[in-house]
Amino acid sequence: MIFPEWKGSKSIMVILAHPDDPEFFMGATIAEWVKQGHKVSYLLLTKGQRGVSPEYPDPANLDVVRVLEQQNAAAKLGVSKVEFLDYQDGYLVPDLEARKKVAREIRRLRPDIVATCDPLLIYQKGRINHPDHRAAGQIVIDAIFPAVGNPAFFPEQINEGFRQHNVEELWLSLPVEANFEMEVTQHWQLRLDALLEHVSQVGEPAAFLERMETRRKTQWGEQLRYVESFRRLIL
Ligand SMILES: [Zn+2]
């Protein structure tokens, strides 16, 4: 197992755009972190209400469904807390207001490690990366530096009682150029189980699992080894 030499239990904050992003991008890594005794929480910037399908055609009610699905999926992986900022799904942009809100959440929760996704990934292997994913990655990166560690940034948060904070490491899922691999074979089934909690998104379970298997085969060939790749920045 390739794993960083972390001493003691770490507080890890996973900040992504949509319900189901944590499980799709890095679910087995989250399971491994929890198993090792680290405390993992999620902050999702939207409630995913535009992820409509024939079974769930109404965007007005989908946010309620997807919040519940996300809580169930997170519980499967042993995640301690799931929170949402309620930006509009599909319309997320890396603006100053979003940076300020995310900086406030990081100053409030004071995680040792933050995980998000790589804002540089626009497309890969015939698939276009959702712009909310890129926006979320950029918002998080911009909040970590230069904002959260510098009391001159968003000083009203300091007046509110939050101190500046330094994050030790930043992990980017869906990396354009990975520099770190998590060997997660033993958690792969748990990741699939957690993904199946996103009932409104995965459709018929057997067909979904078949799709996931096909995708895995294209990525890693026939060998039974599962990895999740990251760009890991030690700050
Ligand atoms: Zn997404």
**Distance between CA atoms of residues 119 and 175, nearest Å:** 8
Q: Is the pLDDT of residue 208 over 50?
A: yes
- Max CA separation in the chain (angstroms): 56
Q: How far is the CA of 19 from the centre of ligand 1 (A)?
A: 7
The pLDDT of residue 223 is: 64
Mean pLDDT to the nearest integer, 21-43: 97
**Distance between CA atoms of residues 226 and 151, nearest Å:** 42
- Domains annotated on the chain, with CATH: 11-234 (3.40.50.10320)
Better-scored residue on pLDDT, 4 or 206: 206
Q: How far is the CA of 109 from the centre of ligand 1 (A)?
A: 23
User: pLDDT tens-digit profile of 49-98?
Assistant: 999 988 888 888 899 999 999 999 999 999 989 999 999 999 999 999 99
The pLDDT of residue 2 is: 56
Q: What is the mean pLDDT of the chain?
A: 94
The pLDDT of residue 222 is: 62
The pLDDT of residue 76 is: 98
The pLDDT of residue 218 is: 58
The pLDDT of residue 151 is: 97
Q: How far is the CA of 164 from the centre of ligand 1 (A)?
A: 29
Mean pLDDT to the nearest integer, 110-131: 96
Q: CA triplet 116, 97, 178: central angle to 5 degrees?
A: 20
Q: How far is the CA of 132 from the centre of ligand 1 (A)?
A: 7
User: pLDDT tens-digit profile of 211-233?
Assistant: 888 776 656 566 667 899 999 99
The pLDDT of residue 205 is: 94
Looking at the chain, the whole-number percentage of residues with pLDDT higher than 70 is 95
Question: Which backbone phi and psi does 133 adopt, to 5 degrees?
Answer: -65, -45
The pLDDT of residue 53 is: 87
Q: Is the pLDDT of residue 163 over 70?
A: yes
Q: How far is the CA of 119 from the centre of ligand 1 (A)?
A: 13
Q: How far is the CA of 11 from the centre of ligand 1 (A)?
A: 23
The pLDDT of residue 56 is: 86
Q: Is the pLDDT of residue 1 over 60?
A: no
Mean pLDDT to the nearest integer, 106-131: 97
Looking at the chain, the whole-number percentage of residues with pLDDT higher than 90 is 83
Instruction: Identify which of 131, 50, 147 has the alpha carbon closest to the alpha carbon of residue 97.
Output: 147
Q: How far is the CA of 5 from the centre of ligand 1 (A)?
A: 30
